[in-house]
Structure 1
Amino acid sequence: MKLTRREFLRGMVGWGGLLVAGSLELRAVRAAEPIRRAHRYLAARQSADGAWRSGRYAAFREGDVLTPVVLWAMQTGRGENGADAVFAHGLAWLRALTDRCCGEESPWPALRYPLFTASYATQVFARSGDHARASAWAKIVEVLRTREVLGWPAGDPMCGAWSDASTPPQYVTPVPDMLAPNISATALAAVALRAAGGDPQSALPFIERCQNFSEGEPTKFDDGGFFFALDDPIRNKAGRAGRDGRGRERFHSYGSATCDGYLALRACGLPPEHPRVEAAVDWLRDNSEGLSHGGTWLPGREEARVSLAFYHSQALAAVLRDIPQSTDWIRRLRSSLSSELIARQSDEGSWQGLAPDSCEDEPLLASAFALRTLSLLA
């Protein structure tokens, strides 16, 4: 019996849907065992008191840096709410840290990297339904924002964003690197505030300035991607791109900064169809391939490029998870990212970076980022 054209096309659509569903199911099955191995590795590295500590970096040995990020990674994709014994033990340790630090007027001496700790802890408690502790950490995130009350000029694009400051960033000039906002710290803080019901929107001027984007006629520099920080040829890891027609120094867009920029825009409430959000997605579509850190990188920047492999992978996975449409390029990228990450996993279930820059040679940090990536992609 001959099929009509409509019946044939209808059947092909059905088969296409089955193939897509089948590929998603297959990817989830392939990722399941690596995810289990990662959880076992993290369980084996947990200290007796419930925290996670580094054997490599002194600044990571007190538990306040690694414990929140490990719990955040373990929560992803599993809906952990404290039922799992390893997670529950770690969460109890983080509760004790919260109650000890967040009640103090000056918690800074107890926190090595306060924005890192506060932002991940905010997300962990928000997802666990502990809104009081999430709010307590969110207040610390807010205090670390560059604000007028700390002397930052109201019209300065740096005002309202976040830096790597270890205490509330009092404005000085010239602004040192530690106090100068960057897109990674700002994205981390913005996502955390949004998770706790806060409003990060005053960071939007800074976020937009970190995007190679033009509201009018784009130049060759305006590719839609993001860079790390304003006027900083060193910390913008991909390097200088040149000067535009107005004489402004421009910087190359690169993968991790563009993922952070996308997530920051979305945390500030910009919808998927906003031109800036669409431009970031287009850049990622054109420049992403598996674990490779996309972008145009100047000679001599290769170590910086590979040093962020796992941070980049989890940020990229979060972007892919957030994009509403699942197109062919997204499916291919999800598959290649997952496959390449699984291939890098050690026999004990861990991952480790290839370069010390960005501290991804600490297996606990790299493994937390890798676990979150696989969980988001599964």
Structure 2
Amino acid sequence: MLDINKIRSDFPILSQKVNGKPLVYFDNGATSQKPQVVIDAISKYYQEINANIHRGVHTLSQLATDAYEISRGKLQNHINAKFAHEVLFTSGTTHGINLVANGFASILKPGDEVLVSALEHHSNIVPWQMLCEKTGATLRVIPMNENGELIMSEYDTLLSDKTKIVTVNHISNALGTVNPIKYMIDKAHEVGAAILIDGAQAVPHLKPDVQELDCDFYVFSGHKICGPTGTGILYGKEAWLNKLPPYQGGGEMIKEVTFEKTTYAELPHKFEAGTPNIAGGIVLGTAVDYMNEVGFDNIQQQEKELLEYGTKRLLEIEGLKIFGTAKEKTSVISFNIEGIHPYDIGTIIDKLGIAVRTGHHCAQPIMDFFKIPGTLRASFAFYNTKEEIDVMVEAIKKAQLMLS
């Protein structure tokens, strides 16, 4: 079990006040807070080994390169990739998805199909729309039901030999739904399609095993797992990464350049053009170490209790409706109160020190499905407490009284 007081002491921001009230941070779905060990690691890099990587023979360059590649190895082990060169550093989930979508422009042709789900974040919709416009391929959508679950019978029907890639999130950012991705991966492979998993909302809660899942691509952002912003990972099977063309051209990703012809570097450098976010990449490894030290079994147990308690307490509020009631769900609660715009409640409870997300959560198709403008979203992390949930519930009741 977690020593929650010890855990909370690792995060300096959690002890501060907002608008004169103790901070209650329930916007973890947007970004997680950072432990002191991560903050210190950023300073340590710039104070001690700041240099460009892979290009210098001097000592600092060697130290920075070693630290960067050690971090890549940590991430390889964390997701159980077969090879370190299957792990590409990116600026985040969006970068990883765009990299793959851009690569598929050389593969798709008119009549081919791309499958996305109704539960996707805009970053896993728009790049595929752009790809289809460019190639003449067709975008097909896996529908959802009123509980916020994908309809697997419809997915089975949509799959065909026209399907070239399926792209689906592991966990919905807007509803917290945990999708049956192992089933979806296996079914996609039965028709010869590749599959990309958006793990942005999953990696804060669980450790994906990409070999066990057998996914072709898995993407996530570092800032949602206690790491720095502007960091992320694209895992891709070696065969697929060798097949796809480079996403960007420049330094680092080349083997030899002449004005007549350029040959590209081997993996992973083929996809890592230019000077990367070196500090971010190194410190992402520090963040993963911290998460594993806390332990994902402990994280899941704490967040399961928070989800159950938060759901119970919120449903005590008259007129409150929760959107997203899937059987398999993580610690996200999206809700509205009848007759009150979510933005108004979010603004009032912010004055009481409570940070929740309001709006469509970059998932407008989900809001359109429920015929609502948006929701309030409370997303819990392992460093949150039931007492904080009580504070939020009382604040919402006050806001409700003020706005009714």
TM-score category by the smaller chain?
Answer: under 0.3
TM-score (norm 2): 0.23
> Which structure is higher in RCO with an 8 Å CA cutoff and minimum separation 6?
2
More helix by share: 1
